A and B are shown apart, each in its own frame.
Chain A
Amino acid sequence: MSIRDHARTAKQAMQAATQAAMTKAIQLAPDSWMPGGRPDPLIFHKHGHVGQPVSRIDGPLKVSGAAPFAAEIPLEGMAYAALLFSTIPKGRIASMDVSDALLAPGVSLVMTHRNAPRMATMPLFLTGAKAAGGDDLPIMQDDRIHWNGQPVALVLADTQEQADHATSLIRVTYQAEEAVTSFAAAKDNGTVPGLFMNQPLQSRNGDADAALAEAAHKVDAVYRTPRHNHNPIELHAATVMWQGDRLRVHDASQAVAHTAWSLAQVFGIDEDQVHVTSPFVGGGFGSKTLWQHQVLAAAASKLAGRPVRIMLSREGVHRMVGGRTVTEQRVAIGADADGRFQSLIHSGTIAMTRHNMMPEPFILPARSGYASRTMKLDVEVAYVDMIANTFMRAPGEAVGTFALESAIDELAVAMGIDPIELRLRNEPDKDPSTGAPFSARHVEEAYRSGAERFGWSSRGAPGSRKDGEWLIGTGVATATYPYYRMPGGAARITLSKDGAATIDIAAHEMGMGTSTAQTQVAADRLGLAMDQVTFRYGDSSLPGVVLAGGSQQTAAIGASVIAAQRVLVKELLKLAGNDSPLAGLKVEDVGGRDGGLAKLDDPDRFESYASILSRARRDTVVAEASPPPPLEMLHWSMHSHGAMFCEVRVNAVTGEVRVSRFLGSFDCGRILNPKTAASQFRGGIVMGLGLALMEETQFDERSGRIMNPSLAEYHVPVHMDVPDIEVMWTDIPDPHAPMGARGVGEIGITGVGAAVANAVFNATGKRVRDLPITLDKLL
């Protein structure tokens, strides 16, 4: 471990200690002091737009190809960018000859470390409130190479074909240095404890090793998951231009405000001088934050004095945009004769770089999942010279549940107990790690209703069901994802005299259905029809710092709109004055209804927005506010759950695995829009099927180079891999979350890996602990 690593770890440990003390105080405070201490009134609103299966409001644009994505904004005089990537993992550029490239037709710029403008490094994601960078390395500032695939030159030309051709004419030689590119070698060099969002990925409760040794029943195994790439179908792209010292970026982003601020730091300008918009994003899953390509495009645009479009090739996405890292996880469970957990150990190692901060936190599900007398959880970091790894859909949970939920299945088999029964015997009555009360936890209900619908009771012993050469089996696993609400939310409501409202917030739509569901919510909150509400998002000049990540947008937007509405109502009551039926009422007494404000328990005391504004001679009323800090997350243990049921058919001759049925039964609070939420659940499950059966970023451990940087060789589920997926939900509101809803974007991928692996075991009697479950592992 270097001095820099020690310093970073020490600083983080101090922050963690402060945070721990704060957490204790927040846990002890009365409920009423907390955000969500008084349930959102919308939870009790039963006959509005919320809960209706409204079709996407951006649907007509998307099905007709009229939704503009980042690489589809034409700018006058625009040049196209192409990139050249390093072919060694570590060392220096020894020589670089760009003369032929410069002479190639249409070329206006070849940018390398020799002529790139001076730029600061990107603020690393999670190191500051608005930091968005995937790494904190110098970008074309020197001759150093940090990973195999690092961009070493950028060519601008009049057309993409010209830029691509000119890039092929650049000749580079390298002076290689010894790099750590094998996971085994990295572990041999020593590991350091992982820190995730300033919290050590380490917890102890009692002596788990001793309890394991004494346990009547035990399992103890190591599970492995490979690297993954998000691979959204839209390639990472940006169209950028400088207007004087102002930078305009049309980006594909799940973090517009973060990106604007971070780019400002890189170029040493004010945050207000960078304007990032991203109205449509062709999938993100954690990958569409700030990576070097936006910085390089802006730098090239500055040098060339013309707008630039950069669209990474699919290979470029794999070379330049990090994915989920590799994990090696030990899960050991000791249980008493009744199956009650006496010891739960979940520990292991992940690979990370020294220039990012994402130690894939696979222990998160174990922290809150099960009551165990003792517990020991650890994530250790081994440093590798590779592309910075990053957040990918349910970071931690997606792969952590594979190991944990497989191990529980193994214990159930060893004890001869039904795996659902074993899980329910270990349901905790409070958070096992923090002791905080659960805000809402209905795991048992999710299992009960899911098992009934799936027909779980007809399950046979391992290897007992056959259809010709196909072995049939079923498996189950728990899905889990926390409720997050990050600080920084803010929203603006503009109410006009015709009674229509515009909600402005720098949030994102990547296909989650945000704009549709939030229009439904705002319409109900304000008492308007959906067509009277315009939801504007995807623009860094709008209020709020709202990451589309951690499944937190629903809560972050919800809380921000609640805060803005409070300010709006206060202003409206003031404007309404003493001549209104609302005279004398306080903000708490009224709510939006029928295009105006009404007293909550006496709706006859009502005045329309149009009437209030007209009497006050106002064209508009504007209210902007930020919600309180998200202390509810610390005061209560807030988690979503799901019961995932899978049926597989495994070919006894070829080892081929086909998923024939899948059912997800979820407990995620109130569902705002059953149509878009069902798609979120199914989409997560489909990505989970990829994780279970085919996805792997193949990493050459000799050279540190990704070997399958294409959609032909990085396999994702296709139509034929996906059966009809049934989804259902408890729809029980979380009393402490805005709208009673917890986010639904990530939970779908969790638990799927284990549900499939457990079904494969039930079909074949073979336990695969190493993802993906390819046919060679079953022969």
Chain B
Amino acid sequence: MDLVINGKPVSVDVDPRVSLLDLLRERLDLPGTKKGCNQGACGACTVLVDGERILSCLGLAVQYEGRSVTTVEGLAEDGSLHRLQQAFIDHDGFQCGYCTPGQICSAIGMAAEARRGLPSFVTADLDGDPVPLSGEEVRERMSGNLCRCGAYNGIVAAITETFAEDVR
């Protein structure tokens, strides 16, 4: 099957049981996407498919034929870090670094959802306008990404700083 990963066309012959996560980690040498539970509970495996965040452990690789997948390895541009990656460093938004790729991919997808006006549980205004990313909105929308080191304050600070301009 064919798909696009981090902007590059990839052709693979894959066991239908293989998850998108294991395709990335074990077959395509892209271990930046992490496995923390393999059952959709921790968010460490979050990647972007056509710009939307998904849990790559819950999807079979074959479901993503023809789609465009972006992993943490594909976020840097021209060899420099994505501004959210830099913000994670600046705000110490991680300790061990294991949940970090999932947090970062999830946040990029989440910001796009807010831009499109998708409400969350804590959104007051449901009229479909872009939702400003307050700390409360970020915490609610990022609650599927667990961080056992407890770097949540730094993660929220990095995300709100990065996307403050985009989503207002």
Contacts and interface: CB of A to CB of B under 8 A. Distances in A.
- A, B assembled together: yes
Contacts of A223: none
A744 to B, nearest CB: 12
Interface in B121-168: 135, 138-140, 142-156
A232 interface: yes
A233 B34 contact: yes
B148 A675 contact: no
B89 interface: yes
Contacts of B149: 283, 511, 679, 683
B150 A685 contact: yes
B97 A280 contact: yes
Interface in B68-122: 71-73, 75-76, 81, 85-86, 88-90, 92, 94-101, 104
B147 A65 contact: no
A8 interface: no
Nearest to B140: A720
A442 interface: no
Contacts of A59: 88-89, 94
Interface stretch (A373-381, A520-528, A646-654, A710-718): A710-718
Contact of B89 (A56, A230, A680, A683): A56
A711 B90 contact: no
A55 B26 CA distance: 31
Given A63-B81, A280-B96, A710 B89 contact: no
A74 B76 contact: no
B147 to A, nearest CB: 7
B15 A159 contact: yes
Given A68-B31, A283-B149, A234 B88 contact: no
A687 B151 CA distance: 11
A63 B17 contact: no
A447 to B, nearest CB: 23
A161 B152 CA distance: 34
Contacts of B41: 314, 710-712
A207 interface: no
A683 B150 contact: yes
Interface in A499-521: 510-513
A720 B143 contact: yes
B94 A63 contact: yes
A719 B143 contact: yes
A72 B42 CA distance: 19
Contacts of A716: 146, 148
A282 B96 CA distance: 5
Contact of B100 (A62, A311, A685, A720): A62
Contacts of A230: 148
Instruction: Point out which of B31, B96, B147 has the most chain A C-beta atoms below 10 A from its C-beta.
Output: B96
A199 interface: no
Instruction: Point out which of B145, B147, B156 has the most chain A C-beta atoms below 10 A from its C-beta.
Output: B147
B94 A722 contact: no
B35 interface: yes
A18 interface: no
Interface in A635-685: 675-676, 678-680, 682-685
B39 interface: yes
A202 interface: no
Interface in A154-209: 159-161, 165
B51 interface: no
Contact of A65 (B22, B31, B144, B156): B31
Given A313-B38, A711-B37, A720-B140, A58 B97 contact: yes
Contacts of B96: 232-234, 280-283, 510-511
B34 A282 contact: yes
Looking at chain A's contact residues, the main secondary structure is loop
A725 interface: yes
B86 to A, nearest CB: 8
Contacts of B142: 719
Contacts of A231: 148
A686 B15 contact: no
B89 A283 contact: no
Given A63-B89, A69-B98, A234-B96, A684 B32 contact: no
B97 to A, nearest CB: 3
B34 A722 contact: no
Interface in A425-477: none
A28 interface: no
A60 B31 contact: no
Contacts of A718: 143-146
B13 interface: no
A725 B36 CA distance: 25
A54 to B, nearest CB: 10
Contacts of A578: none
Contact of A675 (B92, B104, B138): B92
Interface string B12-46: 00010110001001100111111111111110100
Instruction: Point out which of B42, B150, B152 has the most chain A C-beta atoms below 10 A from its C-beta.
Output: B150
B153 A233 contact: no
Contacts of B22: 160-161
Given A60-B81, A64-B85, A69-B31, A55 B150 contact: no
Contacts of A71: 31, 35
A734 B79 CA distance: 44
Contact of B18 (A161, A285, A711): A161
Contacts of B34: 69, 233-234, 282
A67 interface: yes
A66 interface: yes
A165 B142 CA distance: 33
Contacts of B89: 55-56, 59-60, 63
A511 B39 contact: no
A503 to B, nearest CB: 21
A76 interface: no
A727 B164 CA distance: 25
A724 interface: yes
Contacts of B32: 64-66
Contacts of A403: none
A363 interface: no
A295 B167 CA distance: 51
Given A63-B81, A511-B97, A719 B145 contact: yes
A540 B73 CA distance: 30
A679 B148 contact: no
Instruction: Point out which of B26, B40, B81, B95 has the most chain A C-beta atoms below 10 A from its C-beta.
Output: B95
A65 B153 contact: no
Given A65-B33, A311-B35, A724-B135, A234 B98 contact: yes
A335 to B, nearest CB: 35
A56 B92 contact: yes
A443 to B, nearest CB: 24
B98 A232 contact: yes
B45 to A, nearest CB: 11
B81 A233 contact: no
Contacts of B85: 60, 63-64
A331 interface: no
Instruction: Point out which of B35, B154, B156 has the most chain A C-beta atoms below 10 A from its C-beta.
Output: B35
Contact of B98 (A160, A282, A678, A724): A282
A470 B54 CA distance: 35
B57 to A, nearest CB: 11
A719 B155 contact: yes
B44 to A, nearest CB: 6
Given A233-B147, A682-B151, A719-B155, 19 more contacts: A59-B94, A63-B72, A65-B72, A69-B34, A159-B15, A161-B17, A231-B148, A235-B37, A282-B34, A282-B97, A678-B92, A679-B150, A682-B152, A683-B151, A711-B146, A712-B37, A716-B146, A718-B143, A719-B139
11 contacts: A63-B81, A63-B97, A233-B148, A234-B34, A280-B97, A682-B150, A682-B152, A710-B39, A712-B41, A718-B145, A719-B156
- 5 closest Cβ pairs, A-B complex: A65-B32, A686-B150, A282-B98, A511-B95, A62-B97
Interface of B: 15, 17-18, 22, 25-26, 29-42, 44, 71-73, 75-76, 81, 85-86, 88-90, 92, 94-101, 104, 135, 138-140, 142-156
